[in-house]
């Protein structure tokens, strides 16, 4: 949190210096508003995060083709999500994006999206393991932290722009799209990834669903693009994560 607040202070200071150095006229009200946005990013409440997630998810839905409810993909997803009940993530709303990309993600408002490309290469158990992992990032607060980082970056650019163009009262459509992209492509730490893996394992176990799918999902992702899939590109590697789950399975048996 201290680092984020420091970024806010630096951004406002930079905007002040720009106005005092003979550059564009300084809009002080705009700078103060942008500075407030930066400080707010460091302390986004759960309600703030949900609201931003609602907007970012809606914007993402506008730019992607969503599988109709009567399609095989949507019917599969309903079956898959039935094995992920009681996830500690309220208002889960899962849909399929029709794209060959291999990805899946979840936002703090319960918005869960899985790409048809991932479903094409995985079994129901494997997709369920992956989505359990994504729900884990939400339930454990990782997604909220990712939102703070993404929002801070957007607010920082707003501070710079406010030096001549006035403060941005709300995120524009393009900014919401960018915010969504940052969340979708967020990189989590090793400890966060492992915690989300364990959360998925525990959730699957609680629902009496197969945990083996989580192992084979990682193994498939390890082979994708030489193990450099953008989906789980952070450390530890997919192979190591598969072994970790196998160890948990052996202890549970």
Look up 134 and say whether it is catalytic: yes
pLDDT at residue 236, as a whole number: 62
Is residue 209, in this structure, part of any structural domain at all?
Answer: yes
Continuous segment of H or E residues that includes residue 223: helix 212-223
Task: Specify whether 70 is located in the same domain as 119.
Answer: yes
How many other C-beta atoms lie within 10 A of the C-beta of residue 208? Answer: 7
- Give the DSSP letter of residue 90: S
**pLDDT band with cut points at 50, 70 and 90 for residue 151:** confident
Is residue 75, in this structure, part of any structural domain at all?
Answer: yes
pLDDT at residue 11, as a whole number: 36
CATH, residue 75 = 3.30.2010.10
At a CB cut-off of 8 Å and minimum separation 6, what does 13 contact? none
What's the whole-model pTM score?
0.77
**pLDDT band with cut points at 50, 70 and 90 for residue 10:** very low
Tell me which of 59, 126, 134, 193 is the catalytic residue. 134
Is residue 106, in this structure, part of any structural domain at all?
Answer: yes
Nearest to 64 by CA among 108, 115, 16, 22: 115
Q: What are phi and psi of 104, to 5 degrees?
A: -160, 150
Is residue 56, in this structure, part of any structural domain at all?
Answer: no
Task: Specify whether 194 is located in the same domain as 138.
Answer: yes
Range of the domain at 160: 2-48+145-172
User: For 97-106, 147-156, 193-202, 207-216, which range has the lowest pLDDT when averaged over its residues?
Assistant: 147-156
Is residue 59, in this structure, part of any structural domain at all?
Answer: no
**pLDDT band with cut points at 50, 70 and 90 for residue 156:** low
């Amino acid at each position: 949190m201290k680092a984020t607040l420091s970024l806010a202070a630096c951004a406002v200071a930079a905007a002040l210096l720009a106005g005092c150095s003979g550059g564009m006229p300084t809009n002080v009200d705009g700078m103060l508003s942008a500075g407030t946005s930066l400080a707010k990013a460091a302390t986004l409440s759960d309600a703030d995060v949900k609201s931003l997630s609602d907007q970012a998810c809606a914007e993402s839905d506008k730019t992607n083709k969503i599988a109709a409810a009567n399609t095989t993909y949507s019917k599969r997803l309903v079956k898959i999500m039935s094995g992920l009940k009681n996830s500690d993530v309220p208002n889960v709303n899962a849909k399929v994006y029709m794209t060959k990309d291999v990805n899946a993600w979840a936002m703090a408002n319960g918005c869960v999206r899985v790409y048809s490309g991932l479903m094409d290469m995985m079994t129901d158990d494997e997709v369920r393991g992956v989505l359990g992992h994504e729900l884990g990032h939400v339930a454990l607060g990782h997604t909220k932290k990712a939102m703070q980082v993404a929002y801070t970056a957007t607010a920082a650019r707003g501070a710079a722009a406010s030096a001549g163009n006035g403060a941005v009262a709300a995120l524009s459509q393009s900014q919401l799209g960018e915010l969504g992209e940052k969340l979708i492509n967020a990189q989590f730490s090793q400890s966060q990834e492992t915690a989300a893996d364990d959360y998925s394992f525990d959730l699957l176990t609680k629902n009496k669903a197969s945990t083996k799918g989580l192992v084979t999902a990682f193994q498939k992702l390890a082979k994708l693009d030489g193990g450099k899939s953008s989906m789980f590109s952070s450390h530890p590697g997919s192979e190591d994560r598969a072994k970790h789950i196998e160890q948990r399975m052996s202890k549970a048996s």
